[in-house]
Amino acid sequence: METLSVILSRRATFLRQLLSLSLVLLLASTSVGCGISSNSGERANAPAKQTATPISTRLADGQYPVQQASYEDATGEYRLLLLNTGAQASVFRSTQLPMARLSDEAIAKGEKSYLQVENGKPTLYLTEDFRIEYVHTVAQTVENPQTGEQERVVVRQETGFWAPFAGALAGQALGSLLFTPHYYFPPVYQPGRDLVGYGGYGRSYGQAVDRYQQRYQSPPPEVRNRQAFRTTGRLRSPTYGQPGSSTRRTPSERSTGSGYGSSRLRSAPSTRSFRSSSPSGRRSSFGTGRSRSGSRR
């Protein structure tokens, strides 16, 4: 009987140890699962500002003079009309494009604005007075009456000009940093006024977004539109209801600078396709020219 009692006692002890071990393993697996779920939630709620992958037209390494340039704040896309591309496409498209100002020495030697592609990575080098056509998109979130879905709809587009390195404003603020590639965002858009300088800058795209947001308490338009796109579906022009309108400047309000091409600008080229607007077939250029009025931020 004594031997049987010892055996039963040992079995009871073993069962208690086994039960304790099972509880420990169960608690450990539950904690790990909660941690994974929490991390997944944090990633899902993380800002979208640095998740977008830059997109660029493929172009062989080299230096290409820039005839015209435009920037759309709805998508953050730059479009450049390049020279000396040979058999390659002359229209270069890119997002998250770093820029730098040409040095005074380079300008004195006669260098003009150009796109430098090195190891497949593009950088835009601009003269002080180079002006980029700025396309501002006004969009709203509306309900599609046909599907009931929320959609991001373009109401209208307005155009102006942005001179990132014009005048002493940018030079006083950044100094020698102007001559090394940085990411730039324009100042806040103001209808009827050219934009001068920058709203945010940084050695990385994310740093430029952060500085813009610190300055204006809001992310840049291209980041806001990207977040709205992810939330509501797709960003598109209206195909129902009232059609969108486009605000264009009169000829007297347009740039009259002389870059590569014609010395007289008849009309601002479309940002969708660069083409000559001169009856004689000469190309018009808005790449360079002095800004008469600026939004100094």
Kindly tell me if the per-residue pLDDT of 175 is higher than 50. Answer: yes
Q: What is the pLDDT of residue 101?
A: 94
Q: At CA 92, angle to CA 211 and CA 223, rounded to 5?
A: 30
Lookup: tokens for 60 = 């062989």
**28 three-state secondary structure:** helix
Mean pLDDT of 18-47: 50
Q: What is the pLDDT of residue 11?
A: 63
**268 three-state secondary structure:** coil
Mean pLDDT of 88-95: 95
> Which range has highest mean pLDDT (189-203, 235-249, 282-296)?
189-203
Helix (H) / strand (E) element for 123: namely: strand 121-126
**Residue pair 228/235 in contact by the 8 Å Cβ criterion:** yes
* Segment 242-250 long-range contacts (CB within 8 Å, at least 24 positions apart): 244/153, 244/154, 244/155, 244/156, 244/157, 245/155, 245/156, 246/156, 246/157, 246/158, 246/159, 247/156, 247/157, 247/158, 247/159, 247/191, 248/159, 249/159, 249/160
Kindly tell me if the per-residue pLDDT of 289 is higher than 80. Answer: no
Q: What is the pLDDT of residue 150?
A: 84
Domain ranges of the chain: 62-296
Beta-bridge partners for 185: 200
- The model's pLDDT over 240-272, given as tens digits with 9 standing for 90+, comes to 334 333 444 443 333 333 333 322 223 334 444
Q: What is the pLDDT of residue 72?
A: 95
Strands 91-95, 99-101: pairing is unpaired
- Rounded to whole angstroms, the Cα distance separating 43 from 38 reads 9
Q: What is the pLDDT of residue 2?
A: 52
* Segment 262-268 long-range contacts (CB within 8 Å, at least 24 positions apart): 268/133, 268/159
Q: Give first-to-last CA distance, the chain, whole Å.
A: 95
Kindly tell me if the per-residue pLDDT of 46 is higher than 50. Answer: no
Q: What is the pLDDT of residue 262?
A: 28
Please give the model's pTM, rounded to 2 decimal places.
0.64
Kindly tell me if the per-residue pLDDT of 293 is higher than 60. Answer: no
Q: What is the pLDDT of residue 28?
A: 58
Kindly tell me if the per-residue pLDDT of 211 is higher than 70. Answer: yes
- Rounded to whole angstroms, the Cα distance separating 125 from 66 reads 9
Kindly tell me if the per-residue pLDDT of 5 is higher than 80. Answer: no
Mean pLDDT of 99-111: 93
**Residue pair 294/194 in contact by the 8 Å Cβ criterion:** yes
Categorize the per-residue pLDDT at 230 as very low, low, confident or very high, splitting at 50, 70 and 90.
Answer: low
Q: What is the pLDDT of residue 178?
A: 84
Q: What is the pLDDT of residue 87?
A: 92
Closest CA to 70 of 88, 52, 97, 89: 97
- Rounded to whole angstroms, the Cα distance separating 278 from 209 reads 39
Furthest C-alpha separation in the chain? 118
Kindly tell me if the per-residue pLDDT of 290 is higher than 90. Answer: no
Lookup: tokens for 230 = 């992810």
Over the range 131-168, which residues count as b (16 or more CB within 10 Å of their CB) and which as e? bbbbbbbbbeebeeeeeeeebbbbeebbbbbbbbbbbe
User: Mean pLDDT, the chain, as a whole number?
Assistant: 73
Closest CA to 71 of 54, 94, 37, 53: 94
Higher pLDDT, 34 or 187: 187
